[in-house]
A = this chain, B = another copy of it.
């Protein structure tokens, strides 16, 4: 009659954490609720994670693991693919974004990912300093864009730009003419979409990097390299 109780593993706990956070949001993810989801009391979780912090670290790393590692087609498309992949993963797990901002100890997937990105760049001929720069711009942009995308009320299926207007309406609209213009036009012509916005910035950055690589490779290469 009693169901066979399968023992929990750390991986199961982390996976359930991701699932629960996806479902109810990260702020509603409590140890007790996670326990319930796993059919276990809250305190049992502490045999698999040291504390909630570590649980969140692990969950963050799981999300990182979802991002495609760049392969060795040319560096440009490789970076492009991983950028889109990262954006998709963030879209799947909105909470992960905010966690990444607060977490300081990267997990294994995170490290692996960073290493792979650097590898692609280095093998494509980026001098070390330029590779570091490229990594920095790209990551900052991808991350920053994803955060914006989620903070802003655009692009949601429900109430696409109405919310934006509601927010703006709180303030004397005529004092912020440029913002008003922007939102007005977007209400009017609904062809604005975030995917294309993302692409613009990404390609702009990739263009810049390409130029830096071909034109200025010498400049970025220290004498000894």
The answer to whether B98 and A102 have CB atoms under 8 Å apart is: yes
Contacts of A137 in B (CB 8 A): 141, 200-201, 204-205
The answer to whether A100 and B151 have CB atoms under 8 Å apart is: yes
- Copies of this chain, complex-wide, total 2
A91 within 8 A of B: no
Interface residues of A in 148-186 (CB under 8 A from B): 148, 151, 153, 167-168, 171, 175-179, 181-182, 185
The answer to whether A133 and B177 have CB atoms under 8 Å apart is: no
In the bound complex, CA of A108 to CA of B172 (Å): 10
Which secondary structure characterizes the binding site on chain A?
helix
- A3-11, A38-46, A74-82, A113-121 - the one binding chain B: A113-121
A sample of 17 inter-chain contacts (CB < 8 A) reads A97-B101, A98-B98, A114-B176, A114-B179, A115-B178, A118-B178, A128-B185, A137-B141, A137-B205, A140-B147, A142-B144, A143-B148, A144-B145, A204-B208, A205-B205, A205-B208, A208-B208
